Amino acid sequence: MGHTASLVVLISGSGSNLQAIIDQCADKRINASICRVISNKADVKGLARAEAAGITTDVIDHTQYADRDTFDAALIEVIDQCKPDLVVLAGFMRILTEGFVTHFKGRLINIHPSLLPKYQGLNTHQRAIDAGDSEAGASVHFVTEELDGGPVIAQAKVLVEANDTAETLAKRVLTVEHGIFPAVIGWFADRRLQLDNNQVLFDQQTLSSPIQWPLAN
Ligand code: GRF
């Protein structure tokens, strides 16, 4: 057995992506293990999922901190106890400071429910429907100072159907999120991914466009 990557996962809610990661770690489909799950909200389902898997959890409630800097400093302190190889934002709904992003640069990834650079920010599914897009999807990207703007590692696409609502589309996108996110984490764990000069290296090659997941064989 090679190296097992240590992960810290940050959540704010349901944690269905967290569950997909937990399951693939448990099945050894990826060479990773979750050291800690941190939520900025108490009593969310994602915390129960982590506890059910025997993972240490912390709640760091942003409302208890004077500003973003002190909140992020508290996060950094807890995360660093794990010395993680990778910090995973899995539905973590707080904007992070430049200091935080710099501290974890190259080992901080996020999943966003759109085909970036389209629809940074919120309400991505409604915006895709309103624009008449024929496809939607999810992007996994390295996090840099620009919100939802870091270099995209991989994307998964789904077709938008004529009768889709934001809810039905979100559900279909979430299903592919549960595949693409663990896959990217697995590549990172196997040291196939790097952030270099604001570009993604995959197997030492600069990506000219995001990897399309699932991979064609
Ligand atoms: C996902 O749609 C993710 O793309 C977005 O927040 C949602 C989190 O869902 N950033 P869950 O908590 O993993 O179920």
Nearest atom (ligand 1) to Cα of 110: 10
Please work out whether the CB of residue 90 comes within 6 Å of at least one atom of ligand 1.
yes
**Coil, helix or strand at residue 198:** coil
**Coil, helix or strand at residue 32:** strand
Active site residues per annotation: 112
Residue 25 is encoded by which pair of tokens? 């770690």
At residue 146, the pLDDT reads 85
pLDDT digits (tens, 9 = 90+) for 134-145: 999 999 999 998
- Which residue's CA is minimally distant from atom 12 of ligand 1? 15
* Beta partners for residue 157, in sequence order: 137
> What is the distance of C-alpha 108 from the center of its chain?
8
Query: From the CA of 155, how far away is ligand 1's center (Å)?
Result: 15
At residue 56, the pLDDT reads 98
pLDDT digits (tens, 9 = 90+) for 103-133: 999 999 999 999 999 999 999 999 999 999 9
Provide the 10 A C-beta neighbour count for residue 174. Answer: 18
Domain extent for 45: 5-213
Query: From the CA of 13, how far away is ligand 1's center (Å)?
Result: 8
- String of DSSP letters for 101-167: HHHTTTSEEEEESS-TTS--SS-HHHHHHHTT-SEEEEEEEE--SSTT-SPEEEEEEEEPPTT--HH
**pLDDT tens for the chain, residues 1 to 217:** 578 999 999 999 999 999 999 999 999 999 999 999 999 999 999 999 999 999 999 999 999 999 999 999 999 999 999 999 999 999 999 999 999 999 999 999 999 999 999 999 999 999 999 999 999 999 999 999 888 889 999 999 999 999 999 999 999 999 999 999 999 999 999 999 999 999 999 999 999 999 999 998 7
- Which residue's CA is minimally distant from atom 2 of ligand 1? 113
* Beta partners for residue 138, in sequence order: 156
At residue 1, the pLDDT reads 55
d(CA 136, CA 115) in angstroms, rounded, equals 6
DSSP annotation of 40: S
Specify the CATH number for the domain of residue 124.
3.40.50.170
Please work out whether the CB of residue 174 comes within 6 Å of at least one atom of ligand 1.
yes
Residues in the chain: 217
- Which residue's CA is minimally distant from atom 1 of ligand 1? 91
- String of DSSP letters for 48-101: HHHHHTT-EEEE--GGGSSSHHHHHHHHHHHHHTT--SEEEESS--SPPPHHHH
d(CA 98, CA 119) in angstroms, rounded, equals 21
DSSP annotation of 27: T
At residue 206, the pLDDT reads 98
Q: What phi and psi, each to the nearest 5 degrees, are found at residue 98?
A: -60, -35
When divided into structural domains, the chain yields a total of 1
